Amino acid sequence: MMKSTISRRDFIKSSALASIPLMLSGFPLFATKKSTAQFSCNDNDKILVLVQLQGGNDGLATIYDANQYTNLQAVRSNIILPETSIINFHNEYGFHSAMQGMKDVWDIDCLGIIQNVGYPNQNRSHFRSMDIWNSASSTEDFVSTGWIGRFYDLNHAAYPNGYPNTDNPHPFALTMGKIVSETCQGVNANYSLSLLDPFNPGTALVSAEGNIPANCFGDALSFINNTVSQTNAFASVISNAANAGNNLSTKWNSLQTELAEKLKNVARLISGGLKTKIYVVQLGGFDTHDNQVVDGATTTGIHGELLRELSDAICAFQDDLNLLNVNDRVIGMTYSEFGRRIRSNAALGTDHGTAAPLFLFGSCIANQVLGDHPEIDPQVGTEEGVAMQYDFRDIYATILKNWLGLNDSDVGNVLHPNVQILPLFKPSCISCNTWQPQISGNVLACANGTYLYSAATPTPCSTYNWSVIGGTIISGQGTPQVEIQWNNGLAGSINLIQTGY
């Protein structure tokens, strides 16, 4: 069962109002039902954790298909895992032998795998490809803002001026590391703060005081001063959350990796009440041109170590969220700039490729393998990568709509208008549906008559608050349908506030 709390301010923003004006005694006023407020819920309490795999992860060495093993062995004989070491998790699919943690997440119904994710006209440059993933641009366009930054620009275009404030006292986004993520770059500034130690986020001295010159130097100095002041204000909120939070999973005890420490801190901050919606963590080292495996011992090597670090950290993180009882508010997504080529090279490695699998994790993620495993041609050329099946921007769009609560129009503004919404979430967890509610029923009503009126678009997760002028609700308050008895007056109206939680 989903649990959520909502303030009056949030309620107004995340609900929709529909109204039917009526004329009694047989005199119609309007025959149409018109919504008077756009439904939007982008102020919900949902959280997204982005896990960036820097360097380009080798998807064909991450997820195996038993039906393709022989063909893959023909083109990767020097790096392929022994078939007996692969961890089977679903039908013919198996994980790398180092990924028992990911298998455990699958087994608790908290893992989604999307096959062959990329974008058209794949660019194999690390810098340009990551820029495309961060900005959600096409290969032809160069965009200076990130997709999360544009998400926040919709309602906070003045940022950082005037922030933090009473309505927004918490950081919008945190990058767990030294450098803020470009995904969070807005028009005016980056919405993310970099954070190494949540218990000691640090403060900085204002760089200059007194009169600031009215020139470009003064503008730059003012920006620095404002940024420092803002960071100092957010620092106390972060440290308070760290001290109020907790970690309950014992899985952390055996993990000493950098990624595990970052995700452990994220879980603690969430449990401590920090209202930050976006967290970004990074794991580097996936550019495995050589020594991806140890010669003659292919279950070991750089790539296996990275997959173990990723898998174990996500497993502990999900376990912690479950024990902290915040698991219904948090999802995570991995992404990498590209996959690797189908054929391995002579240096026990793989070179820059195209598409690769992407992981989604969380209690609200549909437990599935979406898409087809790549079919391997034993005669494949040395330059060939895995063909794209899913555009990563469709995944972004689905998260923006079904998790962060944007309506279709705003999703199009953040990304582009032709995105496809994918079945990534368990239906009960979709936080909002973006519609304008309408009421169906008679607009021609007789005095003292009793009539039924219904929400035209009922959903299982909605709540319904009906009100009436000129009549009385006989039954049905709180449900999609009400029975109303009209008075002797000449006119009346029905109002419906439908929320999507």
Query: What is the model's pLDDT at position 205?
Result: 45
- CB distance 396 to 48 below 8 Å: no
Among 378-382, 389-393, 415-419, 493-497, the minimum mean pLDDT is found in: 493-497
* Amino acid symbol at 279: Y
Query: What is the model's pLDDT at position 39?
Result: 34
The average pLDDT across 193-208 equals: 74
- CB distance 235 to 278 below 8 Å: no
Query: What is the model's pLDDT at position 14?
Result: 39
Query: What is the model's pLDDT at position 498?
Result: 72
The average pLDDT across 129-150 equals: 97
Q: Is the domain of 389 the same as that of 458?
A: no
Query: What is the model's pLDDT at position 9?
Result: 35
Among 33-47, 80-94, 151-165, 237-251, the minimum mean pLDDT is found in: 33-47
Last residue of a domain, one of 377, 408, 429: 429
Q: Is the domain of 107 the same as that of 173?
A: yes
Task: Count structural domains, the chain.
Answer: 2
DSSP state of 388: P
Among 67-76, 103-112, 445-454, the minimum mean pLDDT is found in: 445-454
The pLDDT confidence band at residue 217, using thresholds 50, 70 and 90, is low
What are the DSSP calls for 257-301, one per residue? -HHHHHHHHHHHHHHTT----EEEEEE-----SS-SSBTTBTTSS
Residue 104 forms part of a structural domain: yes
- CB distance 35 to 16 below 8 Å: yes
Q: Is the domain of 71 the same as that of 197?
A: yes
Query: What is the model's pLDDT at position 23?
Result: 43
Residue 301 forms part of a structural domain: no
Asked if the model's pLDDT at residue 487 lies above 90, the reply is no
Summarised one tens digit per residue, pLDDT across range 278-290 is 999 999 999 999 9
Residue 296 forms part of a structural domain: no
Residue 60 forms part of a structural domain: yes
Residue 293 forms part of a structural domain: no
Domain that holds residue 461: 8-41+433-499
What is the pTM assigned to this prediction?
Answer: 0.78
Sheet harboring 439-441: ordered strands across?
439-441, 450-455, 481-486, 471-475
Q: Is the domain of 173 the same as that of 241?
A: yes
Last residue of a domain, one of 389, 406, 429: 429
Q: Is the domain of 385 the same as that of 471?
A: no
Query: What is the model's pLDDT at position 312?
Result: 98
* Amino acid symbol at 198: P
The average pLDDT across 159-182 equals: 94
| Paired tokens of 261 | 């420490």
The pLDDT confidence band at residue 53, using thresholds 50, 70 and 90, is very high
For the chain, give the percent of residues with pLDDT over 70: 83
Phi, psi of 449 (to 5 degrees): -85, 160
Asked if the model's pLDDT at residue 458 lies above 90, the reply is no
Can you tell me which residue has the tokens 């692969």?
86
Q: Is the domain of 256 the same as that of 380?
A: yes
Q: Is the domain of 26 the same as that of 55?
A: no
Among 111-125, 260-274, 423-437, the minimum mean pLDDT is found in: 423-437
Summarised one tens digit per residue, pLDDT across range 359-413 is 999 999 999 999 999 999 999 999 999 999 999 999 999 999 999 999 999 999 9
Residue 292 forms part of a structural domain: no
Q: Is the domain of 263 the same as that of 386?
A: yes
Query: What is the model's pLDDT at position 449?
Result: 86
Summarised one tens digit per residue, pLDDT across range 158-169 is 999 899 999 999
Residue 307 forms part of a structural domain: no
Query: What is the model's pLDDT at position 122?
Result: 95
Among 61-75, 300-314, 435-449, the minimum mean pLDDT is found in: 435-449
Query: What is the model's pLDDT at position 4?
Result: 37
CA separation for the pair 79, 479 (Å, rounded)? 59
Sort strands 111-118 and 192-194 into parallel, antiparallel or unpaired: unpaired
Asked if the model's pLDDT at residue 90 lies above 50, the reply is yes
Sort strands 192-194 and 278-283 into parallel, antiparallel or unpaired: unpaired
Q: Is the domain of 465 the same as that of 391?
A: no
Last residue of a domain, one of 378, 399, 429: 429
The average pLDDT across 152-162 equals: 94
Q: Is the dihedral of CA 257, 263, 267, 273 positive or negative?
A: positive
Can you tell me which residue has the tokens 């954790």?
49
Residue 380 forms part of a structural domain: yes
Q: Is the domain of 93 the same as that of 222?
A: yes
Q: Is the domain of 255 the same as that of 145?
A: yes
Asked if the model's pLDDT at residue 429 lies above 70, the reply is yes
Q: Is the domain of 160 the same as that of 275?
A: yes
**218 bridge partner residues:** none
Query: What is the model's pLDDT at position 108?
Result: 98
Asked if the model's pLDDT at residue 18 lies above 70, the reply is no
The average pLDDT across 443-448 equals: 78
